[in-house]
Structure formats: C-alpha cells, structure tokens
Amino acid sequence: MGTSDISKNHTNRKWNWRLPFLLFLIIASVAIIKGKQPHEAPFQKSEGMIFGTVWHATYQSDSTLYDEIMHTLGRVDGSLSMFNPNSTLSLINANQSQETDSLLRIVFTQAQQISKATDGYFDITVAPLVNAWGFGFKNGALPDSAQVDSMLQFVGWEKATLKDDLLIKDDERMVLDLSAIAKGFGVDQVASLFNQKGIRNYMIEIGGEIVVKGKNPKGEDWNIGVNKPIEDSTSTNHEIQSVLALTDCAMATSGNYRNYYIDKSGRKLAHTINPHTGYPVQHSILSSTVIAPTCTMADAFATSFMAMGLEHAQKVLAEHPEIQVYFIYSDDEGNMQTWYSKGLESLIK
C-alpha cells in the first residue's frame, strides 16, 4: 500500500467519527430553532392601600409578590408617616425621640439636597403652615400675618439637621412632613425589590407617583397619562391632557387643581405653601409633572416647582439636565397652556 493510500484511509477514519457528531449538532440546532421559545413569565397585577391612598403594580413574574410589596411599603410607613403615631417620624415630631432609622436618614438627606437645589422651595418643615391654612389636621380660623410671621420662626429646611443617627430640630415646635417625598420613595423601594428579584418589566404606582422599567405586556413602552388640571375637589374627573411613552424612569405630578378650598371671602386657597412667605402660592402653574431617574427626586421636584412658579422653575431646570418636565399653566388671559422640556417632545404620543 502506497503512502497516498495510507493517508486517504487515515482521513476517512477521521471523518467516520466526525460526520455523526456534525449531523447531531445540525439536527439539535434545527430542533432548538423550531422548538418552543424560552419560558416567559406572565404579567402579574397587584394592588392595595398605603399612605392613605391606593397602590398598583404590574410586573412580569411567575408568582405574585403582593406580600413582599406590602412588607416593603409597611417599612416605609413605619418610618416616614405623619399619620402613624408609632412611626419614627411621629416620635421625632412629638419630641419623644431623636433617633432615626436607615430609611428616614436616606429620605432626610435627599430632602435636604433637593431643598438646596431648589433654593429652599422644597421644605419638609412647612407642616405648621400647611396645618394653619387648613390643609393638615386642623380646620379653623385662618392665620393672620402676625401668626404667619410667628410660625416662620420655626420653619426652614436648614433648621433641622442629621447628626450621626439623631435628627436635631432647632426648635421643638418644628414638625417635619415628608408627604411630598415619601410616596416617591415608597415607589423606589418597591422598584428596588423588583430589581433584586430580577424582574425586568414593571410599572409601580402609588397615588400618581410612578416608576416604569422595560416594556408593558404588549411589548411597548409604558403609556402614562398626564391628567388635565380640571378644578375638581372630589377627585372624580380624570380627563387626560397628554400621554407619555416612558421606560426606565420615574414620574410624579403635583397640582393645586384638586386640593384647594374657597375661604369666607371667596379666595381660592391652594394647598401648596410658599415656605419663604408662609402663604398659599398664587402662581400660574396648574400642574407640574416631573420625569427623573428616581421617583423620590421626581416627587420632591414636582412639589417645589409648584411652589416657585414657572420662570423660577425654568431656571432650576437649566441646572438639572437629568430632569424633564411637563407643566400645565394658566396664561395672562386665563387660558390653559403647556410648557415642556425639549427632551420630552419625542415621548409625547
């Protein structure tokens, strides 16, 4: 047998064992392509009550996470609620303790940062004024200028500080109100829970404060409506002004068009208090919608923009490109107008 014949036999033997293996790979590949797609978890819907309002969550998961969501929100309520007499914040407001917990320290620190960024228009110490004007626990005679000036002595975000684990108030009459940031923080905490569970597609909403991630059940960005600011103290009219297509962001809206009342002299008093003057705001903004990286940030900025007004808000926005806004306001003739960030234009449907 010649050298060439030996070589041919060797080559044939090599292919004799390789060919079945290659055929197996081809058949297996075709089977995978034609076979069932990888398992996709169904979308779950959960809802409940927290912070005196309703929460909703739509999320892609093999099982419901209702109990874990409620546990997460319960921790937030036990830390930040003014209406839970045993919460960490309530004990501090009652001067029964100065001890904080980890959640309160996070929110207080973020609140102080946003107060600084908004020239003090976001102020968690404004509760005595909110109460005095009839939007808190008390409904009685409205304050006169002397009473407002008196309360302003113990209102001011810089008059409360965090020292180690203690929250120090300059005046024991100070009352801290985290309601303009707590709902947003609660949404962020549920989003953190979902992220830890590996959930990639979800929408979480608490009282209008929202976080969305990934896609909705139709495989599209989440369609989130911005309510038209119709005067409706009963909160039953929910006509939509615009719809935004959002993903991987947070959104919060603040407005005076529902939370207001008419005093004996016929004045319309809005629930947003200017912390610098001590009086309800009289600005033209009817609703302030903020899109931001976190719902904590969106919630707080939405409130502060209502307090400072359109022109000041536009100046603050110039320093915060991470924030997008959708303002609805009343012009000089009383007509409803809109103003929104350039980056938001492509998201309006």
DSSP states of 134-181 as a string? TSSS--SSPP-HHHHHHHHTT--GGGEEEETTEEEESSTT-----HHH
Angle between helices 179-196 and 102-117 (to 10 degrees): 120
Q: Which tokens go with 288?
A: 């302030």
Residue 136 confidence (pLDDT): 56
Q: What angle do CA 255, 260, 265 make, to 5 degrees?
A: 140
Residue 37 confidence (pLDDT): 47
Q: How many Cβ atoms sit within 10 Å of the Cβ of residue 43?
A: 14
Name the residue type at position 238.
H
Contacts of 149 (CB under 8 A, 6+ apart): 278
Residue 142 confidence (pLDDT): 79
- Give the Cα separation of 99 and 96 in Å (integer): 9
Q: Which fold has domain 43-347?
A: T-fold (3.10.520)
Q: Is 41 buried (19+), middle (13-18) or exposed (0-12) by CB count in 10 A? A: middle
**CA 281, 285, 286, 288 torsion: positive or negative?**
negative
- Give the Cα separation of 307 and 320 in Å (integer): 18
Determine contact, residues 184/110, Cβ cutoff 8 Å. no
Blockwise average pLDDT, block size 10, the chain, 349 residues: 49 51 53 53 96 96 97 98 96 98 98 97 94 66 88 95 97 95 98 98 96 97 90 60 96 72 50 87 86 98 93 95 94 90 91
**CA 170, 81, 166, 294 torsion: positive or negative?**
negative
Q: By C-alpha distance, which of 202, 243, 226 is closest to 347?
A: 243
Residue 139 confidence (pLDDT): 55
Residue 141 confidence (pLDDT): 73
- Going from N- to C-terminal start, the domains of the chain cover 43-347
Determine contact, residues 278/129, Cβ cutoff 8 Å. yes
